[in-house]
Amino acid sequence: MGKLFKGCLTLIGAFVVIGVIIAMISGDGDDTTSESNSSDQEQTETEETETNQTNESSGDESANADTEETTEEPNEESTDESKEEPKEQEPEMTTAQENAVQSAKSYLDFSAFSKDGLIEQLKIGDGYTQDQAEFAVNHIEDEVDWNEQAVKSAKSYLDFSAFSKDGLIEQLKVGDSYTQDQAEYAVNQIEDEVDWKEQAVKSAESYLELSSFSRSGLIEQLKVGDGFTDEQAEYAVDQVGL
């Protein structure tokens, strides 16, 4: 009976040992499986993350490309519109300005004018406004030599009246609005053609036709009133018999 009991205990102990071994083996297997499952999960998550990043990168590139296309398209449309719809050029002159230019040219065809004199003529003689008259004269200014206009004016004055050199310069300035330089240029250009003493004689004769003068009175008039020199005035008075 005692042997049987010991045998049973031995058998039970064997079963316990076997159960412990099986439990240990099962535990190791579970850990391995758990680790394997964890590794697989991490790998899957990594692949999903990379896939998402790739998709996001592709999406950004597509968005940038769309943005560039959208940005470029309005430029092309704008260029096409500018080609299709050119702006109308404004006319160079108004009708009034064009008429003023023609009037200015017509005046210069038959008479001599200074720049300011021509502007004044267009205003007073033709009724153009100040702006229209100035526009016309400025428009043709490159075609006009104002010095030569002064020469023509000087010759015209000497054709119908007598002047001293200084008197003619003053007449061109005050009467015709030439500048000092233009008036002096004109008189100097014609000086070789003019005998100023004979001009003084003509002036003396004109004065005597209008009024009576003494010798000294006429000399003074020729000097102060007309700008002749002492020599020219005395010569003239001698020639008219005073």
Q: Tokens 């070789």 appear where?
A: 192
pLDDT value of position 3: 45
Q: By residue range, what is the domain housing residue 205?
A: 195-242
Please state the rounded mean pLDDT for residues 57-77: 50
Structural domain contains residue 11 = no
Identity of the highest mean pLDDT range in 13-27, 59-73, 84-98, 166-180: 166-180
Structural domain contains residue 160 = yes
Could you tell me if 164 and 227 are in contact, meaning their C-beta atoms sit under 8 angstroms apart? yes
Confirm whether pTM is higher than 0.75: no
Is residue 114 located within the same domain as residue 157?
Answer: no
Please state the rounded mean pLDDT for residues 52-62: 50
Q: Is the pLDDT of residue 35 over 80?
A: no
* Residue burial 80-89, b: 16+ Cβ < 10 Å; e: rest: eeeeeeeeee
172/183 Cα distance (integer angstroms): 6
Please state the rounded mean pLDDT for residues 69-98: 65
Is residue 155 located within the same domain as residue 188?
Answer: yes
pLDDT-derived band at 239 (thresholds 50, 70, 90) equals very high
Q: Is the pLDDT of residue 8 over 90?
A: no
18/22 Cα distance (integer angstroms): 6
pLDDT value of position 92: 83
Is residue 217 located within the same domain as residue 176?
Answer: no
pLDDT-derived band at 217 (thresholds 50, 70, 90) equals very high
pLDDT value of position 37: 47
Type of residue found at 73: E
pLDDT value of position 12: 54
Total domains, the chain: 3
Is residue 212 located within the same domain as residue 238?
Answer: yes
Structural domain contains residue 14 = no
48/28 Cα distance (integer angstroms): 30
pLDDT value of position 29: 47
Structural domain contains residue 128 = yes
